[in-house]
Structure 1
Amino acid sequence: MCAALLNWVSNLFTAGNSMSIATYEEVLDLPNHPEKLLIDVRGVDEVASTGAIPTAVNIPLDQVDKAFAPETTSEEFQKLYGVAKPDKDRYIIMSCRTGRRSQMALDTISALGYSK
């Protein structure tokens, strides 16, 4: 678990106006912070071939805009991703392999009003 997280930690970004990079310690401590949500925006095939991040919810980048759109209900989100749709002020951390998709996902949800 630690080696996989260390590889990804520099590519974990938090949402909001003051976007920041999540620390290794913060990611390791996520199981103790259910108020925080880790979203892996890699594709399903990529996750299957390289492994899932413990505690992460996989929402591929090409689904982020629809998943977080106002029209998507919490029930639909829950059915698709296994968790309730986060409130707009929930602390969200995005992850991918290099950081590029994480940044794009954060830009998308920030434009939809997500602030943390």
Structure 2
Amino acid sequence: MSTRALFRPILTQLPRATRRGVIPTAHPLLARSQWSPPQSVLRSFTSSSIQWRFQDITKFAKGVPITYEELKPITEAPNDDILLIDVREPNEVVQGTIPSAVPLPLSSFEKSLSMDEGDFVKKHGFRKPTKLQPIVFFCKAGVRAQTAIDLAKKAGYKHLRNYEGSYADWIAKDQANAHDDD
């Protein structure tokens, strides 16, 4: 009995919806099949979050500075994919910060990156970023954030962006947007 004969009953018993479409033709058996992924899979793969990830990961890899307009949606729908780090000192952070940001002061930054995961979590209260995790840094005006990026690159981190306007820019633009909404 040939392989084709073994699989013919299986392929003909598949629901009609799963037999439509085109799939890679590397294997002769697959080439004759008309299977395609369900529409729900296609919809989830082309969702806006996935699409955003593919479009913006290049900017993270190249280290292109992030703008207020790019950062605002990230803060409105925070997730574990992108980490927003405030490198200002604790006495500055208490005056206010960007929503969803975690504090990691520049004064302890380099030492913190060399800690193991457990010690990092105990000291800072959040998980240590992975080397490939997209990270946005900010401070008061962008200078210390760039220093943090340089230190992170030296430690092997890859997908880093600086919010050059930093907290000063955030406050100015956030207040301007609040007045526009009135």
User: Which residue of the partner structure matches residue 7 of structure 1?
Assistant: none
2-structure distance, mates of 1:43, 1:106: 16
Following superposition, the deviation at residue 29 of structure 1 comes to: 2.0
Matched, 1:35 2:78: no
Return 5+ residue gaps in structure 2 as ranges.
1-58, 160-182
2:125 to 62, 71, 82: 82
Paired residue secondary structure (1:29): helix
Corresponding letter in the other structure for 1:24: Y
Residue-pair matches, total: 99
Cα RMSD, aligned residues only: 1.8
User: More helix by proportion, 1 or 2?
Assistant: 2
User: More strand by proportion, 1 or 2?
Assistant: 1
Following superposition, the deviation at residue 23 of structure 1 comes to: 2.2
Return 5+ residue gaps in structure 1 as ranges.
1-14
Indicate the structure (1 or 2) with the bigger Cα radius of gyration.
Answer: 2
1-structure distance, mates of 2:122, 2:73: 26
Following superposition, the deviation at residue 32 of structure 1 comes to: 4.1
Following superposition, the deviation at residue 105 of structure 1 comes to: 0.3
2:102 to 57, 62, 67: 57
1-structure distance, mates of 2:147, 2:130: 19
1-structure distance, mates of 2:155, 2:135: 13
Is contact 1:16–1:114 with CA below 8 Å preserved after alignment?
Answer: no
Is contact 1:41–1:96 with CA below 8 Å preserved after alignment?
Answer: yes
User: Which residue of the partner structure matches residue 91 of structure 2?
Assistant: 45
Which gives a bigger RCO, structure 1 or 2 (Cα 8 Å, sep 6+)? 1
1-structure distance, mates of 2:135, 2:122: 19
> Residues 2-36 of structure 1, C-alpha deviation per residue, up to 9 Å, x if partnerless?
xxxxxxxxxxxxx9662121122332222344200
Following superposition, the deviation at residue 68 of structure 1 comes to: 0.8
Is contact 1:41–1:95 with CA below 8 Å preserved after alignment?
Answer: yes
Q: State, as a whole percentage, how many aligned pairs show the same letter.
A: 35
1:26 to 70, 73, 80: 70
Is contact 1:42–1:61 with CA below 8 Å preserved after alignment?
Answer: yes
